[in-house]
Amino acid sequence: MTSKPKLEDALRDRIIAEPTAILDDQDVMRALVEANQKAMGGNIIDLRGISMERLENRLDRLEDTHRSVIATAYDNLAGTNQVHRAVLRLLDFDDFDALMSDLNGEIANILQVESLRLVLETSQAESDPDLSRFGAVLTVVDAGFVAEYINAATGGQSPQVILRQFKGAGLSVFGENSQKIQSEACLTLDLGGARLPGMLVIGGRHPQQFSSQQGTDLLTFFAGVFERTIRRLLL
């Protein structure tokens, strides 16, 4: 008759003194359960082992969910901070030219995007030559362009903010920079009075930077501040 191996006294005393250390270690507990199953024989079902495995699976799923919730909360907080900083930047401008010069500079850096483009509609046969100096950030289009551009993505609906992957449809908006754009946010602007509507198009570097699955509250807020800033500067 063979004798069973015994624990060293020091290890045995430590386990007795700190049993929770064993219970908290999944690998050790799994090994103990497997050893117990072998000792009981293959024809005996150990319900404790099955229950433990199910609990481990549930714990793994809960941990994954927890990590996902934390990551989402962090992204939301980061996005909120970016928009707030960009809004504060907008409020600093008292001159339309200065705003246009900064649009693809510090504001784009704050929002961590590739490009921002202001689109203004006109009913005139020829665009104002004074606006040509803003060619890198401003596009003048015919009346009705904004609604057509937005409706192409929504099937006729007209929400203020549209998030989507960029597939080259906005070539006339982004110009030469369109090759770097992977997704876009289209913000419809009410410029007030008898003015035709405008649009701020934000180009993202990554396909998922702007997605239809994302919320639009922050960008709706940013659009409201931006359109009010444009109204103020154009008075």
188 pLDDT band (50/70/90 cuts)? very high
**E strand intervals along the chain:** 115-122, 138-142, 161-165, 183-189, 198-204
Q: How far apart are the C-alpha atoms of 66 and 216, rounded to whole Å?
A: 24
1 pLDDT band (50/70/90 cuts)? very low
Q: Which residue has the tokens 């960008």?
A: 219
The string of pLDDT tens digits covering residues 94-111 is: 999 999 999 989 999 999
The string of pLDDT tens digits covering residues 189-220 is: 998 878 888 999 999 988 888 888 888 889 99
Q: What is the DSSP string of 135-162?
A: TTTEEEEETTHHHHHHHHHHTT---SEE
74 pLDDT band (50/70/90 cuts)? low
User: Which range among 43-57, 77-91, 138-152 shows the weakest confidence by mean pLDDT?
Assistant: 43-57
User: Which range among 13-17, 36-40, 142-146 shows the weakest confidence by mean pLDDT?
Assistant: 36-40
Domain ranges of the chain: 94-234
pLDDT at 76 over 80: no
Q: How far apart are the C-alpha atoms of 67 and 11, rounded to whole Å?
A: 35
148 pLDDT band (50/70/90 cuts)? confident
pTM score, whole prediction: 0.66
Residue type, 34: E
Give residue 157's pLDDT: 61
Residue 165 to residues 50, 156, 229, Cα–Cα distance (Å): 46, 18, 27
Highest mean pLDDT among 73-87, 135-149, 219-233: 219-233
Contact criterion met (CB below 8 Å) for 186 and 119: no
The domain 94-234 is placed in CATH, from the list 3.40.50.300, 3.40.1360.10, 3.30.450.40, 3.40.50.170, at 3.30.450.40
Mean pLDDT of 32-58: 67
